[in-house]
Structure 1
Amino acid sequence: MEKAALLNAIVYNAIDGIITTDDFGTVESINPTACVLFGYSEQEVLGNNIALLIPSLDWPSRDYFSSRYKTTVDSPFIEKARELKGRTKEGYQFPFKLGVSEVHYAGRKIYAGFIHDLSQQKADEERLKNYASHLEELVELRTKTLNDTIKALEKSKEKVSATLEKEKTLSKLKNRFLSMASHEFRTPLSTAQLSASLIEKYAEPLENANITKHAGKIINAVTNLTTVLNDFLYIEQLEIGRVKTNITYFDLKKLGEEITEEMQLLAKGQQQIHFTHNGTQKLMHLDANLLKNSIINLITNAIKYSNDTSRIEFTTEINDTNCIITVKDEGIGIPQEDQNHLFEPFFRAHNTGNIPGTGLGLNIVARYIALMNGCISYSSIVNEGTQFTLTFSMK
């Protein structure tokens, strides 16, 4: 009795559906799980043919089992599980796996069917199938997009290569032209400047103001044009990498005095260039030529953009940590909105008006200072003046 009760409890609480029939497929028992799966009550199923629940099943008859399933005379029949479709009371079909066992009980044969619902499994498989299909489509689309991108990049690469070749050719032509122009124009300009100076000298006994005036205009025009050509030549040399630093020891104070003397001759009207060297240390380890050109450029700007009676402060200092060089003027200053572009080539502040210039000077200075591992900074107020500071580390 206990065993029977235990078996009954196992069948009653099984997670799979269990149905028993006789030889002719008449349902003799059905557990609660099978009732839930098919949507029938136990009373609605008992005594009915199994075809009520599984229409597609050719439920085994006595001859069917003996001819098709039984492997030996002595062994009980166990049908290999197969997938079928069940039909619920509402008429819906669902997939399940059916395994059938032949049971000998009380001198008769009973067939027990074990039903494992496959609805969730099939739904998961379908979802995975759809996802796999989606991934395949996505991979195909991405592959096509990638191939299209590669083709576009190849075309762009060809265009860029062609453009670069054109740029290289144009750059070579430009550099050749600048080099040729700078050198070819320099000789006639030097001749014109020398001739204008001689005219001034020869005109002194005549005391003719007009001759002196016009000779001065010629000299100024030649000086400005020479400055322009020099700027182009310096830029050309920087672009092609010809500018190399020649680091040597030199007397910074002496260099400052020489520059001041030279630039004072070019000052306008009553302008005064005041040079000061701070500290006892004088020797500096830099490229004297590049530094001199940079300082001359800054002082030239101070002269150009200041009035005829202004004072230009030029100071040098060497201490234990830095070499500091400043050029300060009382000129027109640099507008705040223009300051971010100050070192760009060919840029000129919008308040420079008709004052001649190429917009290359500060770009050249910044690049020279960078070649010597220094830095350039500035401060400026419109109509009050500008100060440029060159700083080099002594470490």
Structure 2
Amino acid sequence: MEKAVLLKAIIDNAIDGLITIDEYGIIESINPSACKLFKYTELEVLGKNISMLMPQPDRAHHDGYLFRYKKTGEASIIGIGRELTGLTKNGTQFPFRLGVSEVKYSGRIIYAGFIHDLSREKEAESKLQDYASMLEEQVQERTLSLRETVAVLEQTKIELNLSLEHLRDTVGVLEQTQRELNLSLDKEKELGKLKSRFVSIASHEFRTPLSLVQLSASLIERHALPYENQNIGKHVVKIKEAVLNVTAILNDFLSLEKLDSGKTQTKRDTFNLENLAGEITDEMQIALKGRQKIIYKHRGPGVTIQLDQNLLKNCIVILIDNAIKYSGAESEIQFYTKINENNCTIRICDNGIGIPADDQKHLFEAFFRAHNTGKISGNGLGLSILSRYTDLMKGKVDFRSRINKGTLFILTFPII
């Protein structure tokens, strides 16, 4: 009963729509997100054919599709997914991605449809195309300018060969032309940076599909429990790990872009450091490997400080996540906080692989990874972001590390 209540709570609070139908296309359940998308109440659609939510010609073809699938077993949507158009109660249409799963339960066949609204993605895609076209036009203009500059340079060379008497004047023209060429190349590089920055902003749009994949994997895992199929569980774990890795990479790139563009600003929050550290410790339990443990202790009389709580939490999470990744499955991660009259200190210590001495001077550079990380996942951005967040909060980072003996990081921040 507790699991059923939990599953219902997850479905009712899912950000994407979820509709279940029987083998004849009759709607058996619809969650609040789907009701909001189609602008119907639950009572208005329960017991009705799912085709009421489709514009023509999909509405006319839907029952035939179900009949052919039951007869032949050939699926064009079930287990595959595709983009479709939905019809709301007031007659408006919107694009969405539909993923349909077939569930056999208590001798019945139920089809569960996961509906993700693509309106924002389509709008973002249109804006991206318009912006790319504008960038392409600017690139063409700069290319034409370069060609014209090169043509001037070639003409200048011809004039130099024709008259040695104007050697000094010609050299001056060549130098001026070279400066113009360098300026044009610098503008080209700036356009490249703008385009890269725009792609980073657009990557925000990947977060919602990743959330859908994560939710779907959780639902598959829960529905598969009665069957005790180890292969399903193994692949669901791989899906979740892949989603977490991609999400972490996107978050790191977006954080770096905000830092580079000056969008990251600090704010002073008054909060309980011990409570924050306890919350982080609990949240990081899901990332632990094997029998790893996080040991947290607070030292010092006071626990309330004034810092940017969000940036501080990100710094701590980066260090604990690194400690987990680079330590063995039986290891303990030591996590301490301390407050005195002027400063607060965060210490995170592991007994992992350590950092080679030759690599330590590059540790806070973007995209740098130590030579002994091997196949351990990572993009080399975490410590670079940590260092810049710490600078923004007027703090400092210290560390000590030895190969195969572990690493200690110490963050110190002024609190007055």
Q: TM-score of the superposition, structure 2-length normalised?
A: 0.57
- Letter matched to residue 177 of structure 1: V
1:387 aligns with 408
Structure 1 residue 166: Cα displacement: 1.8
2:381 aligns with 360
| Distance in 2 between residues matched to 1:199 and 1:164, nearest whole Å | 51
**Within 5 A, what are the aligned runs for 1:1-395?**
157-181=179-203, 183-395=204-416
1:225 match: secondary structure: helix
| Distance in 2 between residues matched to 1:200 and 1:192, nearest whole Å | 12
| Distance in 1 between residues matched to 2:297 and 2:343, nearest whole Å | 17
* CA displacement 1:195-227 (0-9 Å, x = unmatched): 111111112222222211111111011111110
How many pairs were matched up?
251
- Letter matched to residue 241 of structure 1: G
Structure 1 residue 394: Cα displacement: 3.4
| Distance in 2 between residues matched to 1:302 and 1:147, nearest whole Å | 64
Note the aligned Cα RMSD (angstroms).
2.2
1:74 aligns with none
- Letter matched to residue 343 of structure 1: F
Distance 1:280 1:152, change over 3 A: farther
| Distance in 1 between residues matched to 2:413 and 2:224, nearest whole Å | 48
Structure 2, unaligned runs of 5 or more: 1-167
1:265 match: secondary structure: helix
* CA displacement 1:339-367 (0-9 Å, x = unmatched): 11101110000111111111011000101
1:307 match: secondary structure: coil
Distance 1:212 1:284, change over 3 A: same
| Distance in 1 between residues matched to 2:344 and 2:174, nearest whole Å | 53
2:369 match: secondary structure: coil
| Distance in 2 between residues matched to 1:246 and 1:254, nearest whole Å | 19
Which stretch shows the higher mean deviation, 301-310 or 151-160? 151-160
| Distance in 2 between residues matched to 1:351 and 1:301, nearest whole Å | 14
1:40 aligns with none
| Distance in 2 between residues matched to 1:153 and 1:239, nearest whole Å | 33
Structure 1 residue 151: Cα displacement: 7.4
Is 2:307–2:415's contact at 8 Å kept on the other side of the alignment? Answer: no
Which stretch shows the higher mean deviation, 204-213 or 149-158? 149-158
* CA displacement 1:292-319 (0-9 Å, x = unmatched): 0111011111111111111001111111
Point out the structure with the larger helix share: 2
- Letter matched to residue 349 of structure 2: K
Structure 1, unaligned runs of 5 or more: 1-145
Distance 1:151 1:331, change over 3 A: farther
- Letter matched to residue 171 of structure 1: K
Structure 1 residue 328: Cα displacement: 0.8
Sequence identity percentage: 48
Which stretch shows the higher mean deviation, 283-292 or 205-214? 205-214
Structure 1 residue 232: Cα displacement: 0.6
- The structure whose Rg is larger is 1
